[in-house]
A and B are shown apart, each in its own frame.
Chain A
Amino acid sequence: MLRRFFYRQFRIASRVSWALARQLTPAGRLVVGALLTALVFGPNTRLTVGYQAFTLLGALLALSTVWALVPPPRLDVRRRLPRYATAGETVIYDVVLRNRRARAVVGLSILEDLEDPRPTLADFTLASEPHESERNWFDRKLAWHRWVWLLARNRRLDVREHTVSEVPSAGEARVRVEALARRRGRVRFRGLTLARTDPLGLVRALRRLRAPDTLLVLPRRYPVPDLTLPGARRYQPGGIALASSVGDSEEFVSLREYRPGDPLKRIHWRSSARRGRAVVREHQDEFFVRHGLVLDTFMPRGGEPRFEDAVAVAASFAAGVRGQEALLDLMFVGPQAYVFTAGRGVGQLERMLEVLADVMPCADGSFAVLHRLVAERHQALSGVVCVLLAWDDQRRGLLQHLRALGVPALALLVTGADQAVDADELASEGVRRLVHDHIAEGLAGL
C-alpha cells in the first residue's frame, strides 16, 4: 500500500524532473530554483523584498515560456546506427536531419527520446538495490535510493544533447552523436526531440519527432585466456554434419562397400572399377573439443551487479572461443532451460552474444533444472565453464557430479567485494573467485 503510494509519487517526480530538464536550460533551472526560493522566503511583502526578485524572475520565465510555445520546424530524421554497441563503451552514430523547407534552420539541438526508464510497480516492489539491507530504516521504507538505482539501471544509453549549427534549406545536416552504452540489452529509441532556446536562454521550445529504432548493446567483455581444460576430445554424434553446417568432413579413413543410402558422390569410382562393385570412401567419425558454458541465472536478492558481472564473464568466454577449433554450448535457465551452440561455423558467435545481451535473471526456477541440463549433455562435453552467482550445496553438487562423470570443470564464483566466502573450501573444490569491480583482474589470473 505504502509502496504503491511512494511508487506513484516517485513516478510523478521523475516525470516532472525529466520534463523540466528537457524544457529548461541550466540557466532556466537556476532561475526556477531562485524563483521557488524567493517564494519560500518572501511570501510576506512586508518582511522582505524577496517578492521583487520573485516577480522579476517570474516575468523572465513567463516571457521565455511564451516565446518557447512556438516549436522548431519539423524535419525528417534518420539514424545510422551500428549493428551493436558494447556495454561500458562509447558508441558513435549519425543522425541525419533533412530540411524540406526553403529556409535554413539554425540554433537547434537534438535530444534522443529513449524508452521510459521508470520501473514498473512489480519491478520496484520486488527489486532490491545492492546493499539495501545496510540502509537505515527510513531509507528502506521510502526506497527512494532503490528508485534512483532502478532508473539508472534501466537507462541503457547515456546520450548528451548535441547541437546542430545549421540545417540548410532543402538539404541535410549530419550530427555525429556520441553516447555511452551503460548496460547490455536492447536500447529502444522512441524518437528524437528538436530543441531551440528562447532569446533569454532560459526555456526551450521542443518538437518531438517519431524515429523508432533499436540498438543492441552486447555485454561487457573482458580478455580471457584460452580455455585449457584437461578434458579430451569427445565423439560428437551427428559428427561433423553438426559441426560444419554443410557437408562432410574431408578426413579420409578407408574404403568400404557401398551400402544403400550412401551418397553417390562418395563412390570411389576407380576402386569400384577395380573391384567390380561399388566402393565408397569412408570418412573419419568426428572427435573434437566441445565446451559447455554454464551461466547461473539464479540471482540472489540484491545481486544484480554480480549477475551483470556473471553475464559479462560468460560473454567474455563466448567471445574468446572465436577462432578456436571448438564448439561452445551456452547453457542457462531463463523462462525455460536453454542451450545455444556456437563455434566451428555452427552458430554465429555474435548470435551467442546477442542471446547473452538479452539474458535475464531467473526469478522462479530451481538450480536443479540447470543441473539436469548440464548432466544430460555431459557425454558430448570436453569440459565445462561454470559461472556461478552463489556457493551452496546445489552448486557444489553440480561440480561434484561433473567431476564424477569425468567432465573437467572450471568454476568461477562471482562475489561482491565484501562478501564472506570460505576460501579454503572454494580452493578445495577448485572454484575460482571473481570479485565485483575486479573481474578483469580475476580473469587475467586464471
Chain B
Amino acid sequence: MMGAALLFWGWQTGFLVAAVAMAAVIEARSLIDVRWDLSRSDFNRISDVSAVLLALIAVYHVLGNDSARAVLAILQWLPLIVFPLVACQLYGAAGVLDASIFLWSLRRRANAEPDYAGMPVDLAYPFVALTLLSASAANVRSGLFFVGFAAITVWALWGVRARRYSTPVWLGMVAAALALGWAGQLGLAAGQRALERMATAWFVDYLGREADPYRATTALGQVGELKLSSRILLRVETPTAPPPALLREASYNIYNAPTWYAVDAPFRHVTPESDGATWRLASRTAEAGPVTIAAYLRRGKGMLPAPNGTVELANLLVVELASNRMGAIRVEEGLGLVRYGARYAGAAADDPPTRMDVAVPRSEAHAVGRIAEDLRLSRLARHDAVVAVRAYFRDGFRYSRFVADSAVGTTALADFLERTRRGHCEYFATATVLLLRAAGIPARYAVGYAVHEWSALERRFVVRANDAHAWALVWLDGAWRELDTTPPDWVEAEREAVSRFTVGDLWSWGGYLFARWRWSEREDRLTGSVGWLLVPLFLLLGWRLYSRRRIARRAARGPTAARAIARGADSAFYDVERALARLAFPRAAAEPLSVWLRRITSAGLPDVNTARLPALLALHYRYRFDPLGLADEERARLAAEAGSWLTEHSREPR
C-alpha cells in the first residue's frame, strides 16, 4: 500500500521518478531477506539527515515565496524527506522506530539512561497518510486526486474493518462515505467561491471603490515630489530588434479626478494552448517579437506588463490567466517569477471604443474644451489632431517631478494646462486623453513601464520602479495606438533623481538568477535541479549504513531461521529416528535425541540394536550443529551406516 501511495503521490506532484524509486525500495522488502541491525545512533543520524533535508527544502521554498505557498511546496516534498526514516524502519531489524529519534529531550534521556525502554513508533500508516496529503498539495484539480485518495483509503480501511459485520454492511458504509465525501468537497469548493464573492461585495460596498486593475489613482493634484525607488522590476530581452518602448499593464476609460477607472471591463479566463504554456490573447497575427519579459509576481498573482497589441504569450508557466477587453492581462495563479515571450502586433487589438472612451468629465470640460478649441482640434482630421496635440505638449510644456499647489478654484489638471505647464507623466497622459476626447477622438489612459535602460551587467534591458509611466492610447485606423506626450527628458530627470547603478543592482541580479533557477522547477521538477542533489545524499547514507557491517539476516526468528534449522535436515539419521520411534517408543516432546537413545538402550528391547547408534548420533549432531559441518566422506559414512542400520532393522520381524 505504501508503494501505491507513493506512486500516486509521484503522479500527482510530478516527482514520478523519485516516487518509483522509493516505491521500489519499499516494496522490495518482501524480496530481500536482509535486515540491518541499526543502533540508536544510526537512527539519530538518519533522523538528522531528514531534518537537514527539511531545513534545506524549507529555506529553498521560503526564499521568494509567500508563506502559504512555501508550506504547500514543503508539504509536497515531505514524503521524500521522511522516506529515509521509513526505509530504515522497514529494513531495520527492530521493525519500528523509537520516538527518541525525533526529539532532542528524549534522545538525551535515551543517552543518559542505558536501559531506557523507548517509545516504539510505527511510521508505516502515518507515512501513507502523509504521502496522500502531500499529493493533495500538487493541486491537480481533475478529480483524480479524490479517486486515488479514496481508493488507497478504502484499501487501508479494509484491513482494520470490524470483522463481526458482514462485507455488504462495510461496503454500504464505505459507499455512503464516498458519496458524502464527494458531495462535501463539491459543496466546500462552491462554498468558498460564494464566500469570496460575498466578502468581495462587502469589501467593495464598504470602501465604495473598486480595486486594481479597475482603477488607477493618479498623483494629480498632489503637492510635492513624486518619489519612486530604483528597484528593478522587469527584465526585457529581445533577440535582435530594439524592445518596445512601452510595456502596458492596464488601461482605463473613465476619469474622475484624481482616479482613472476601467469601467465595464471584467476579466475573462484565457485558455492555454495544448502545451499549457502558450496563451493566445487575440486572433490577429503577430508582427513583432517575441520579446522576453521576466516579472516578479506577489503571491503568484498580478498584472503582466506586455507590449501594446500583444497577441500571444509563450512559455508562460502559470495556472490561471485572465484578460479584459482593454488589454490588461492578469495572472490569477502562478509562481513568484514568470518569464514569458510576448508576440505583438503594432497596434492593440483591444475592443473598439465605446461612448465611455470619448467622455470628458464635467469638472475638466471647461479647461480642456477651451484648449481643444484653441488648437481647433475638432476641425482637423484625426491624424492631424493627434499631431497637433503632440506638438502642443512638446512645445509649451516641461517635465517636472515636483508639483506646486494649484491655484484656488481650478482643478489640478486645469492648473497644469493653463498655468504651470509643468508636471509628471500622469498629467501629460490624462491631459492628452481628455484633449483628444474633447475633439471626439476615442482615447484611453494607459499605465505601465518605459523600457530604455540597457544593463551592461545583465546584458539585457532592465525596468525599474521609477520607470513606471503613463501614456495615452488613441483609436486611429481601427486600432488603439500609443501616444506618449510626456517630454522625453523625463527619463533624464528620473535618472538624475536616483543613482542608476548601485550595489543593489548586483544584489537584484543575484536574486533574479536565484529566482529563475528556483522557479524553473516547474519545467523539469525533480529530474532537473535540486532533486539530483538528493541522490548522492541518499547514496552516501546508504553506503554508510551498509558499511557498518551490521547486517543481520532477517532474523534469527523469521524464514532465515527456518533455513538455519534446515541445515542438516537431510541427515540420514532422521530415517533412523523414525524407525526407532516405530520399533521402540516415540521421543517425548523436547527430549534430546541422546537422552531418548539412552532411554531406549536402557529399555533393552530385543528388536532394537542400539550399539552403533551413539556413534551415528555423534556424526548427526556434528552435521547439524558443527559450524564447519561434515567432510564429504563423513557424510557418506553417516548415510551408509544409517542405511545399513535401517536395512538390518527392516529385516527384523516386528
List A residues at the B interface (Cβ < 8 Å).
Answer: 25, 27, 30, 33-34, 37-38, 41-42, 44-60, 62-64, 67, 106-107, 196-202
* A199–B171 CA distance with the chains assembled, in angstroms: 9
Q: A46-B333, A201-B157 are in contact. Are A53 and B170 (CB under 8 A)?
A: no
Residues of B within 8 A of A47 (CB): 68-69, 72, 139
- Closest chain-A Cβ to B404's Cβ sits at a distance in Å of 48
Residues of B within 8 A of A58 (CB): 181, 184
Closest chain B CB from A246 CB (angstroms):
50
Chain A interface SS verdict (over half): helix
Enumerate 21 A-B pairs (CB-CB under 8 Å) in ascending A order.
Answer: A27-B160, A44-B192, A45-B189, A47-B68, A47-B72, A48-B136, A49-B136, A51-B189, A52-B149, A56-B185, A58-B184, A59-B176, A59-B180, A60-B157, A107-B164, A196-B162, A199-B161, A200-B174, A201-B161, A202-B157, A202-B160
Q: A45-B189, A63-B176 are in contact. Are A200 and B170 (CB under 8 A)?
A: yes
Q: Which residue of the partner chain, among B133, B157, B174, B189, contacts A37 with CB atoms under 8 Å?
A: B133
A56 x B192 contact (CB < 8 A): no
Q: Is the CB of A52 within 8 A of B145?
A: yes
The smallest beta-carbon distance between A182 and chain B, in angstroms, is 13
Specify which chain A residues have a CB less than 8 angstroms from the CB of B192 in the assembled complex. 44-46
In contact, A59 and B181 (Cβ under 8 angstroms): yes
State which residues 133-182 of B face A: CB under 8 Å: 133, 136-141, 145-146, 149-150, 153, 156-157, 160-165, 169-170, 173-174, 176-178, 180-182
Main secondary structure of the interface of B (DSSP, over half): helix
With the chains together, A57 CA to B153 CA distance in Å?
A: 9
Residue of A nearest to B184 (CB): A55
If A49-B145, A199-B161, A200-B157 touch, whether A41 touches B137 (CB-CB below 8 Å) is yes
B137 to chain A minimum Cβ distance, whole angstroms, is: 5
Residue pair B162, A56 in contact (C-beta under 8 Å): no
CB distance from A401 to the nearest CB of B (A): 39
Residues of A within 8 A of B169 (CB): 199
B141: which A residues are within 8 A, CB to CB? 49
Of B124-132, B522-530, B616-624, the one with at least 4 CB within 8 A of chain A:
B124-132
**A residues less than 8 Å from B133 (CB atoms):** 34, 37-38, 41, 50, 53
Residue pair B75, A49 in contact (C-beta under 8 Å): no
Q: Are B188 and A51 in contact (CB under 8 A)?
A: yes
B25 at the interface (CB under 8 A from A): no
7 extra A-B contacts, CB within 8 A, seeds A45-B192, A62-B180, A201-B161: A27-B160, A47-B68, A48-B137, A56-B178, A59-B177, A59-B184, A107-B163
CB within 8 A of B136: which of A50, A62, A196?
A50
Q: Which of A41, A48, A56 makes the CB contact (< 8 A) with B149?
A: A56
Nearest-neighbour CB distance to chain B for A424, whole angstroms, equals 27
Question: Smallest Cβ distance from B136 to chain A, in angstroms?
Answer: 4
8 Å CB contact of A200 from B125, B163, B173: B173
Most buried by A among B72, B132, B177, B333: B177
User: Which 4 pairs across A and B sit closest by C-beta, in order of nearness?
Assistant: A56-B181, A55-B184, A59-B180, A107-B164
A106 — which chain B residues lie within 8 A by C-beta?
164
Interface residues of B (CB under 8 A from A): 68-69, 71-72, 75, 125-126, 129-130, 132-133, 136-141, 145-146, 149-150, 153, 156-157, 160-165, 169-170, 173-174, 176-178, 180-182, 184-185, 187-189, 192, 333
CB-CB under 8 A from B71, the residues of chain A are 41
Q: With the chains together, A198 CA to B173 CA distance in Å?
A: 10
Partner of B188, one of A45, A197, A201: A45
B68 engages A44 (CB within 8 Å): yes
Say yes or no: A67-B72 contact (C-beta < 8 A), given A49-B141, A62-B180. Answer: no
Contact between B181 and A51 (Cβ–Cβ < 8 Å)? no
Contact check, B136 vs A42: say whether CB atoms are below 8 A apart: yes
Closest approach, in angstroms, between the C-beta of A27 and any C-beta of chain B? 4
A52 to B184, CA, bound (A): 8
B446 to chain A, nearest CB (A): 30
Given A48-B136, A67-B173, verify A27-B157 contact (CB < 8 Å).
yes
The smallest beta-carbon distance between B138 and chain A, in angstroms, is 8
Closest to B75 in A: A41
- Decide: B161 and A63 in contact? CB cutoff 8 A: no
Partner of A60, one of B153, B164, B188: B153
**Contact: B174 with A49, CB < 8 Å?**
no
Whether A48 pairs with B72 at a CB distance below 8 angstroms is yes
Query: Contacts of B182 on A, CB cut-off 8 Å?
Result: 55-56
For the complex formed, measure the closest distance between the CB of A214 and the CB atoms of chain B, giving whole angstroms: 29
B181 to chain A, nearest CB (A): 3
Question: B129 near A34 (CB under 8 angstroms)?
Answer: yes
A34 to B157, CA, bound (A): 14
- List residues of chain B with CB within 8 A of the CB of A50: 133, 136-137
- The smallest C-beta distance from B148 to any residue of chain A, in angstroms, reads 10
Who on chain A is nearest to B132 by CB? A53
> Which residues of B are found within 8 Å of A48, using beta-carbon distances?
72, 136-139
B149 touches A30 (CB 8 A): no
Cα–Cα, bound, A197→B157 (Å): 13
Contacts of A64 in B (CB 8 A): 173
Closest to B189 in A: A45
A63 to chain B, nearest CB (A): 5
Contact A201 B129 (CB under 8 A): no
Chain B residues within 8 Å of A45, by CB: 188-189, 192
A52–B136 CB distance below 8 A: yes
Cα of A42 to Cα of B138 in the assembled complex, Å:
11
Please give me the residue from chain A that is nearest to B147 by CB atom.
Answer: A52
A199 and B161 CA atoms in complex are apart in Å by 6
A26 → chain B, closest Cβ, in Å?
A: 8
Interface centre among A49, A62, A200 (most CB of B within 10 A): A49
Quick one: closest B residue to A61, CB to CB? B177
Q: Return A196 CB to nearest CB of chain B, in Å.
A: 8
In the docked arrangement, what's the CA distance between A57 and B185, Å?
Answer: 11
Q: How far apart are B76's CB and chain A's nearest CB, in angstroms?
A: 9
Interface pair B160/A201, CB less than 8 Å apart? yes
